[in-house]
Structure 1
């Protein structure tokens, strides 16, 4: 068992927990389910049935958007904690808050650093060089509108950050369970399992000697390895003193030039850059606005993060192997 898993076990409140994971069928969510079982917890996974969890995990099939179907699937089950991996809107949060009222002592939602994005027009950019603390976006004070067209995929895609902010706000005000929101940094690692493909984008372009499109002025951001995020979610789910918003990012800030340099060193190449015009789309992680997060609160509560520069070379090697593998 890793040191992080041992730490999580030490912080558990009463040993085995009954944990309900909503989603948990891909990437770090799938790994979280395995971590929970490996540390002795009793796990129930709820999804729409497209992917089955491991054989020793209870599987309930329901659409989390269908309140009646979700209630029926749960039956009389109760849990120590719910880990919600796929909540994107305040409407989904409101449904879950009603359904799990009286069923769980704690509720943990996977959120995102995008809640801090000043490009949404509702936040002012933080001062350059100052990672943002959780209180920058206070879910207890954030306005909620359930009447917005959250069911429309195009609207939701364009308002991803706002959907997460309002979902956090709904759960924070529910008052029927202790609530925590893990605001994840950009997640990397896992090779072919990395469903965003952003690291592969860099590996492929640098390996092929192709230019990366970057802003004239680039600002740093934060990252986290998918295994570290799974470990943090395990810890946050089973440590009852963890409540409220919680930033989740490995130690150290990187801008697009730093990231490209580390990748290029792994590949034995030199990164090439092209400066984009105003309004032109740049490569992922080239940011012209500042919303890097501080992980100080999580560390004060007892979680130890690794430096990004320690795990990034390994993630690059995985992405390189995955991109070279033949398709079947």
Structure 2
């Protein structure tokens, strides 16, 4: 397959490209050119600005079997993409987010946010918060595109290569004996690993007929109290968890209500997810060892 990847030089985007190359696809990565990669001559490269309509139309001079879009954050970017790639792509895989859901306190299924009837408001990334930008981009793709689209809604993605440092925040605070702000330790949360996210994107784009919105998350969830107990055990130190702390000590996982994804649709379509309770403890131990 001839495949275009927006992004693809770090975290699960890089892992996706590795899998596509391994499977023998003709892969082009389109990035700002600011992050080096080690793909050598196994991929083609295009330096571009995701926000540039002109750059998108240049890429659309060719036809693509699959396009992966990991870096669209606004309805205007989506509108430009729909216009550029009309009749030029077999399947469009848009990386979306758990953040499209406003509801809390239960497992969230795809029907809990309907992009097919969501009112489209135009604007750039600076005009909306992250969740609204993703909601509006989905709305544009599903209401305006003439090509098949799948919007993959991921929860927080974790891995040894996570540049965001969200899990490391908790490890570092426990090791340093610093407070961690969590408003509700009884809230349940889900995740997906960067390897599993890459595996899912590869599968949904090249091996599956699935289209529309789809949740992708590891099986099982953790109560935040359980998650902190895992870190305490691995670190050999007690966590200092408080409901209210200074802003710089607020947990990146500090949700007020249960907030995780129901992955039933993807499982029924044939994808087998890992169990969170198998891989996350290993990742926590890796993080502790890395800091000792």
The answer to whether the superposition gives a TM-score over 0.5 is yes
Per-residue deviation, 1:70: 2.6
Match of 2:83 among 88, 98, 116: 98
For 1:282 and 1:59, the matched residues in 2 are separated by 39
Q: 1:275 to 1:69 in 2, by over 3 A?
A: closer
**What TM-score do you get using the length of structure 1 for normalisation?**
0.83
Asked whether the 8 Å contact 2:185–2:225 carries over to 1, the reply is no
Q: What is the correspondence of 1:110-189 to structure 2 with a 5 Å cutoff?
A: 110-116=95-101, 118=102, 125-126=103-104, 128=105, 130-146=106-122, 148=123, 150-152=124-126, 155-156=127-128, 159-189=129-159
For 1:262 and 1:137, the matched residues in 2 are separated by 33
Gaps of 5+ in 1: 1-16, 119-124
Asked whether the 8 Å contact 1:64–1:96 carries over to 2, the reply is no
Per-residue deviation, 1:166: 0.6
Asked whether the 8 Å contact 2:75–2:133 carries over to 1, the reply is yes
Q: 1:281 to 1:84 in 2, by over 3 A?
A: same
For 1:283 and 1:298, the matched residues in 2 are separated by 29
Please say if 1:234 is aligned against 2:202.
yes
How many residue pairs match? The answer is 290
More strand by share: 2
Please say if 1:35 is aligned against 2:19.
yes
Asked whether the 8 Å contact 1:82–1:106 carries over to 2, the reply is yes
Asked whether the 8 Å contact 1:215–1:276 carries over to 2, the reply is yes
Q: Which residue of 2 aligns with 1:215?
A: 183
Post-superposition, which runs of at least 4 consecutive aligned residues in structure 1 deviate over 2 A? 208-211, 268-272, 279-282, 317-324
For 2:237 and 2:133, the matched residues in 1 are separated by 40
Asked whether the 8 Å contact 1:32–1:233 carries over to 2, the reply is yes
CA-to-aligned-CA distance 1:212-256 (integer Å, 9 cap, x gap): 211156411210111111100100111341101111111112132
For 1:27 and 1:242, the matched residues in 2 are separated by 24
Please say if 1:62 is aligned against 2:56.
no
Gaps of 5+ in 2: none
SS of the residue aligned with 1:69? helix
Per-residue deviation, 1:259: 1.2
For 1:262 and 1:256, the matched residues in 2 are separated by 10
Q: Which residue of 2 aligns with 1:24?
A: 8
Q: Which residue of 2 aligns with 1:319?
A: 287
For 1:225 and 1:306, the matched residues in 2 are separated by 9
SS of the residue aligned with 1:131? strand
SS of the residue aligned with 1:292? strand
Please say if 1:293 is aligned against 2:254.
no
